Structure 1
Amino acid sequence: MSRRLILGSLALLLLSSSAFGQRLANWTEGNGELGLGYPVPIPVDTPLPFDGFRTYAGLHSRHQDLMLQSDRVSGEVVGQSRNGREIWAYRLAASGDRTPEGLPRSAVFYTGGIHAREWQSPEVVTGLMERLVAGQGDHFLTDFVADHVNVVVLPVMNIDGFLQTQANPSRNWLETDNRNPQFWPRDGRMRRKNLRGTDGDFFTTGDHLAGVDLNRNNPPFWPGPPETGIQDDLTWRGPSAQSEPEIQAMLAAAGLAPADRLRFFADMHSYTSVFFSVHTSNLRRNAIQSRLFSTLSNHHAALPGNRVYVDSVSSIDVGIGTTSEYFGQLYQIPSATWEIEPGENGAVDYGGFGNNGHDGFILPESEIRRVRENLAETMLVAAYHMADPPHVAMAEVVDVATGAVVWSAHWDDAENEMRDFVNQSLAPLVPGRAYELWMAFSKPMRWRENGQVVPFPGRSASSINLNLWIESGNDVIAADFGPPEWLDQAGGAPNGYHRYRDDAFRIAFTISDAPETLAQIDEINAGEDGIHFTVLTSDLTGNLLDANPATRARWEDGAWADYDSASGSLDSGGADRSLELDLRVAAGDPGTEAVRGVHSAMWIDPDRGGEGWVIEVLPDGQAVGYWFTYDEEGHPRWLLGQGPVVANQIRFENLLAPVGGRFGPGFDPDEVELLPAGSARLVFSDCEQGWFDYRAFGQTQRLPLNRLTRGLGLDCGPSDVPPPDRAVQNGSWFDPDHAGEGYTVQWLDNGQVLVMWFSYDATGQQYWMLGQGESQAGDDRILLDNVLSARGARFGRAFDPQEVELFDWGSIEMQLGCETGSASYQSLLPEFGSGDFELLRLSYIDGLTTCPPGN
């Protein structure tokens, strides 16, 4: 044995037999005083999850990597530890700060690592981050939470103490604790507190009992029980409430939510598998919280390992200074100290010896992957549950025989606490006729395993029931409904989900045409009561529908506001009766006007001047649509769709965003890339108006459409007058050497021509121009001497017509025949310059397909 090793051994011997009686003790795999019965976990310096525990450096590296991998992860330094180490917090959510409906997001907050020895805690909080990033793009639970909830995490609060435990993964001191010196190991692997008043050196014997229990340092119940006033005690509360820099960092992290939008808080601890839930004098809040923890407990028990978490209810307005008490009392939200497994038997749960109760803080390495992944899901479910109660968002009825939309309704979210109900009846419903109802909700509603709808883990078989009927007042109208088909494919109505997988269903139905039903319908229509669908169901975690979507359910003063039920009970929901129908016995022709060539025009939402659609209905039952709009930064954007005409609908299942072409003589068609952007559907109520639904760039929306232009030779009513010769030029035109950009031409009924040019700028970004002109006297040239472009507005719900800036771009001259033509341009903007094209026709308009003689 070397001299250095001998001296080191003597030093350890002296330390373990000091005047204070303290002695060094080690956790071991074998049986003994601190025997575990399984290998002592040793942290590994890796960022990736594995069957074991990561070092703090590995965990921090993982957090930073996730922030680089995903645009849903943002982070910042929110404070410093007692020893000056940076404390990071992260927010996980979709970009922006609004839901797809345009409303402020709610928030949940998870903290980890407040007690240094509880290694499970930082792992499961990190696991939640990993789950949210890995699930990005699932169009289901993860995407819903990211769209509607700001998930804020502070993975390691007590960094100083955590590092000391990891530097001493097996050793600690015995016979030194002020309460139970022989049985309670302190410092090293069993350090709980921060490092206030210590030098952080495990072998410095005079200060290893120092430090503040960060989970006793919080109002409103600081200073807490008497023992927390003893500085050497395991639970010393600190010199004043929120005195510690780690707690100040937690408060700063809450600001990322922001704090006034919080709906749930949990401080992740170990061990005992318990929710130490905070109960306040707000009884409604307490009841909502109890239902939440019951839901989480049932769900977690159904996951691999079947671990049961118990809700341990505190006395009302009594506490000991915990973080969960602070958030529960101040913000009146469900809040808990969430104790991770094992249960109260500690290591015995995994076949351990159970020689010392502190072994529960040392989870076997073989268990942490399951614990991490299961709790990440359950923590995600908590965010889903508190995001908002479900409500009916949209519904429509299709006539099976014709494929036409005959009725449609939706709730349009406004900035305030109300929603606007938009009900569009295109044709009355008729008894005895076959229909299909499509209905969508505000969140994913059903769970699948192996492709089949099954109860959400932890819920009963009856939880997937859906009750649907037609009624007026208290009278049910006889109708035959088939089984509901929940939809997990994109596309929107009538065959796909709305925003998320299984947020919508479709169901076949026929209203009875029995004589007594016909008489009942006539009697109802003669009175003042309306007829409506009634639907009763619940979301994944058991929240019933908001019975009145007109008043937006929201968290307010520690309970749900305007979460309505038919019975008037609070915070529970019920059946929705908002979907009013036009049902008649003698309705005449139940059909609707089909889409045809006359619908080829420019269509706009009158409240959104500066964007719109150019629609071309083709002779083969197809249609082409060009949506000219703006991106999220206010630059021009255009989307292209081609799809079938189905009765009174045009369906663009795949909207494309062409990018990459560079304007001018250097244009290369091979550089053009058609990026998938979403889907859209246009529904026309008649020749003059309709609406369109879209799903694109993370948003969904329904907007009205009004006709802006009327094409030459295209009449809404019957006409025996042949179209003028030039009307056949209506359609799309392009230069084959510039495939990927082109023009749409519309000769209007006033003799003028409207041209849109869909192209790119010099950097490959999308660009569009618009010009209106007329043919020149004595020849067939078309002169557009005031071509405009636009910028400034934002895409989707952020669109504001006041932000649209129209500006002069230049001029275009065209000369068109029936199949070929030419175009030249002169821009006022130097980056565009001048040039010319040789054009070919790309599309014909239905009803305008015959070239005049000589063309």
Structure 2
Amino acid sequence: MGKIIQKSLLALSTALLPFAASSEVLTYTESTNSNTEMAIGYPVPIPVDSMMAINGFRSYDSLKAHHQGLALLHPEMSSIKVGDTANGREILAYQFGDTNNTDADGLTEPAFLVNGTIHAREWQSPEVVTELIEQLMERKADQGMVQYLLENTNIVILPVLNIDGFLQTQRNPVNVTNSPGTNANSSANDKFAQPRDGRMRRKNMPNVDEVLATENDRLNGVDLNRNSKHFFGVQPGNSDPLSLLYGGTNPFSEPETQALLEAAKLAPESRLRFYQDTHSFSRVLFVPQPNNSRLNAITQNIATRFQNTTISQGANYFPVIDQVGSGIATTADYFAYEYFIPTWTLEIEPPQGFQGEPNGGAFYGGTGASHSGFIAPDSAIARIRDQLAPAQLLMFYHQAGPAYVKSVRIADENDQLVYAADWQTNGNSRSLSVSTDQVLSGGQQYRLWVQFSKPMRWRSGGNIVQYPGQSVTLAPTISLTGTANGSSFNRAIATSNNDWQNQAGGELQGFATYLDDAILVNFTVPSNVNVSSASGNTNFDLNLNVQDFAGLSLDANPASPVDWANGAWTGYQNTNGASGDIGGTDASYSIKVANSSLTLSNSANDSGSGGGGGAISWWLLLALTGFRLARKKN
């Protein structure tokens, strides 16, 4: 079904100009129509020289200077040349992260790749990708999500791949060629029945000069998004050099797509966990689906999370899922099938007539003229940038992997440490080191501090809230379980959102490394657990179940670090110890409790719940015992 919709979009995008053309060069206008003019219904955007984000579209030179300036200013951002265009212009990728390629545990970092502006006329793309770059740098010291990403992952962003074509569109922001043979009676399948050069250039520019008046090269070039390895040449027109969909002589024949492969090496490819190719227009995600059920389930899950975040921002970027095993040689197809990672083609607004929305430029109150969806008004782009940034960042956070419990601390009412456990990473495994393991007393109050491996909560105005568009259980779930007198027991520990720590302080005081990477809970050890002997100790298991703000549950067994291979998580275990993609409750921590502090009974375990319960407490038991002894002496 996905490909049927995608082909329908392509048919719409190659629709006829709505008038007979007597000239080969047309001019876009706000309101005037003629044989040489086309009204789009709002001011035609002109590229602006500005280093700052504006209510409009920046020139390529300004975007490049801005990117380079940020790279010079921020050590977390590096500018790397990955190739040259067909006309000899350098192609730059930007790498984001700290100075090493390892995370906080010394493991090789996961990586993400975002490509922009593979089709020249899609001006929304470089602006949206630049906003992502800006947010990474503006929030690099947020002590939360972005700082965590920069310190524990490797992000590679290529803002403008098709530089030659993009510059051609910006040299001719109001002019477009109406190719020879185009007229109002042309067939929708006529390869000449579409604007091709100037503002509407899609392809790159080998053997193409930069003079719009030159007629014989207007149809030349390669569709860089049909120049990939998987499904190369499967579409009609892929082998026709004059087609809008011409895929080149062979896969990756173009210097631009070779540059994209070089950018992937910065990850490197073996560490990739997510790829996005950033396009316009349609306001959808086109999602490849290889023959890998686990990968497809994960991809569809995060695509829905992406959609929900955009809905919360006032848009709806819904996933269009490909048929399993199908493709059309897009770059998203390539990375999905080559490396088995979640990928998609993000098509930025305006909508393409889906879900009752006006088509193309009509979405902005324009005329809906052919191809006007590629010409979003200046007034829309700032909103578009802001709407998409949260969803893109959430994908990085999710694909960084699930959290695990790093440390557990328990202290008594006198702030004396009675239990301390830490997971220590050694190569590709972890071991639990318990450095303090004293006996706890039933009925006594303690403080529990748990550190996780990533920031776990999102805040707005200082308050714990859902990440935009998401829905997870905000309070942690904690319990003490065990076996006494042959029966199992389970005591929940009351928790709330306030247990998350957003003040520095470390163990038993605040967060460890990032905001909300730790919880601090007061609890009382149960005294109403029935045991059959007053000698020895009873072991309570501490159980911890938490979702991060992207909906990933804990790795229930931190002994095997989570990674990614063959399209799914590895080392990610659920509550029952089974490997998979869902996680669960971590019950790795055994707490010793003195039996003498518990209620002695030969009866079955009572059903009371909570810390302390309704049975007699240990100090009251001792008091009553002392009272009985005193009576005997008297």
In structure 2, what is the equivalent of residue 30 of structure 1? 31
Shift of 1:253: 0.9
Shift of 1:524: 9.9
Shift of 1:441: 0.9
**In structure 2, what is the Cα distance between the partners aligned to 1:216 and 1:155?**
19
1:234 aligned residue (244, 264, 278): 244
In structure 1, what is the equivalent of residue 404 of structure 2? 391
CA contact (8 A) 2:478 2:495 kept: no
Compute the RMSD of aligned alpha carbons: 2.1
In structure 2, what is the equivalent of residue 407 of structure 1? 419
Shift of 1:224: 2.2
Q: 2:320 matched to 1:319?
A: no
Q: 2:556 matched to 1:512?
A: no
Shift of 1:227: 1.6
In structure 1, what is the equivalent of residue 106 of structure 2? 102
CA contact (8 A) 2:113 2:272 kept: yes
Identity of aligned residues (%): 39
Structure 1 segment 429-828 matched on structure 2, within 5 A? 429-460=440-471, 463-472=473-482, 475-478=488-491, 480-483=493-496, 484-514=498-528, 517-519=529-531, 525=537, 530-567=539-576, 568=578, 570-586=580-596
Shift of 1:478: 3.3
Deviations 1:748-801 (A, max 9, x none): xxxxxxxxxxxxxxxxxxxxxxxxxxxxxxxxxxxxxxxxxxxxxxxxxxxxxx
In structure 2, what is the equivalent of residue 310 of structure 1? 318
1:340 aligned residue (348, 351, 358): 348
In structure 2, what is the equivalent of residue 354 of structure 1? 368
Shift of 1:525: 4.6
1:376 aligned residue (381, 389, 397): 389
Shift of 1:156: 0.6
In structure 2, what is the equivalent of residue 116 of structure 1? 120
Which structure has greater strand proportion?
A: 1
CA contact (8 A) 1:108 1:383 kept: yes
CA contact (8 A) 2:437 2:592 kept: no
Shift of 1:254: 0.8
Q: Which amino acid aligns with 2:252?
A: Q
Secondary structure, in 3 states, of the residue corresponding to 2:49? coil
In structure 2, what is the equivalent of residue 599 of structure 1? none
**In structure 2, what is the Cα distance between the partners aligned to 1:93 and 1:429?**
43
Alpha-carbon spacing, 1:569–1:253, altered in 2? closer, same or farther (3 Å): closer
Q: Which amino acid aligns with 1:364?
A: P
Shift of 1:84: 0.5
Q: State the TM-score, normalized to the length of structure 2.
A: 0.85
The aligned length equals 558
Q: Which amino acid aligns with 1:54?
A: R
CA contact (8 A) 2:191 2:242 kept: no
Shift of 1:389: 0.9
CA contact (8 A) 1:479 1:512 kept: no
**In structure 2, what is the Cα distance between the partners aligned to 1:511 and 1:577?**
17
In structure 2, what is the equivalent of residue 827 of structure 1? none
Shift of 1:182: 8.4
In structure 2, what is the equivalent of residue 727 of structure 1? none
Shift of 1:23: 2.3
Shift of 1:522: 6.5
**In structure 2, what is the Cα distance between the partners aligned to 1:66 and 1:479?**
50
Alpha-carbon spacing, 1:430–1:298, altered in 2? closer, same or farther (3 Å): same
Which has the higher Rg, Structure 1 or Structure 2? 1
**In structure 2, what is the Cα distance between the partners aligned to 1:152 and 1:332?**
18
Shift of 1:363: 1.5
Shift of 1:546: 0.8
1:257 aligned residue (238, 242, 267): 267
**In structure 2, what is the Cα distance between the partners aligned to 1:294 and 1:522?**
55
Structure 2 unaligned spans of 5+: 1-20, 353-358, 599-634
**In structure 2, what is the Cα distance between the partners aligned to 1:547 and 1:166?**
53
**In structure 2, what is the Cα distance between the partners aligned to 1:181 and 1:481?**
67
Query: Which deviates further from its counterpart, 160-169 or 405-414?
Result: 405-414
**In structure 1, what is the Cα distance between the partners aligned to 2:308 and 2:594?**
47
Shift of 1:149: 1.2
1:184 aligned residue (187, 194, 215): 194
Shift of 1:521: 9.3
In structure 1, what is the equivalent of residue 619 of structure 2? none
Alpha-carbon spacing, 1:519–1:120, altered in 2? closer, same or farther (3 Å): same
Which structure has greater helix proportion?
A: 2
Shift of 1:549: 0.8
**In structure 2, what is the Cα distance between the partners aligned to 1:442 and 1:180?**
57
Q: 2:48 matched to 1:47?
A: no
Q: Which amino acid aligns with 1:213?
A: D
CA contact (8 A) 1:479 1:509 kept: no
Secondary structure, in 3 states, of the residue corresponding to 2:593? coil
Structure 1 unaligned spans of 5+: 1-19, 589-855
Query: Which deviates further from its counterpart, 464-473 or 24-33?
Result: 24-33
Secondary structure, in 3 states, of the residue corresponding to 1:284? helix
1:271 aligned residue (281, 284, 291): 281
Secondary structure, in 3 states, of the residue corresponding to 2:39? coil
**In structure 2, what is the Cα distance between the partners aligned to 1:297 and 1:368?**
19
In structure 1, what is the equivalent of residue 434 of structure 2? 423
Q: Which amino acid aligns with 2:465?
A: V
Secondary structure, in 3 states, of the residue corresponding to 1:27? strand
Shift of 1:569: 6.4
Secondary structure, in 3 states, of the residue corresponding to 1:542? coil
Shift of 1:38: 1.8
CA contact (8 A) 2:235 2:328 kept: yes
Shift of 1:244: 0.2
**In structure 1, what is the Cα distance between the partners aligned to 2:419 and 2:453?**
20
In structure 2, what is the equivalent of residue 134 of structure 1? 138
